Amino acid sequence: SKAIEGVKGSRDRIVRGTLSNLSSRIIKRTPVGNPDVWSPKSLPAPKGYVGGSLRGAWNASIGAPDLSVNKRKIAPKGTAAIGRASKIANSVEPGQTFYLTNPLPYARRVEFGWSYRQAPAGMVRVTIAEAQQVLDSQ
């Protein structure tokens, strides 16, 4: 009985750690708008522009995707989004489905090449390709 509980505890810790790690990687890979690399250069940045909306918009949830767009602060480092995702990942119970979603309308375009200088292969696809490696390291 103790051995079975130990295995279940290890399994849960591994799953939660993997979800947290993968979420953090996706968020950190999300490009932050940089007018210096925009093409064409004739597109000026709006006055007072600071990039980071896409990185800060990631939502973690259990059971159903959270597609809400909250009025979050611009988050060039993504610290709050990583913290939110980690908190949710660490509360996942066996049998539950974890979602990491980005509701901003241009998130899909960025994933598929719109930010070809900063994230040419996207954020999610690159991270999912590393999933087995991340799982093995837990």
Residue with the bigger pLDDT between 24 and 138: it is 24
pLDDT tens for 72-99 read 667 888 999 999 999 999 999 999 999 9
Q: Is the sign of the CA dihedral 81, 34, 51, 67 positive or negative?
A: negative
What mean pLDDT value characterizes the chain? 87
Predicted model pTM: 0.85
Q: What φ, ψ does residue 101 adopt, rounded to 5°?
A: -130, 155
pLDDT tens for 33-72 read 877 777 666 677 777 777 888 999 999 999 999 999 876 6
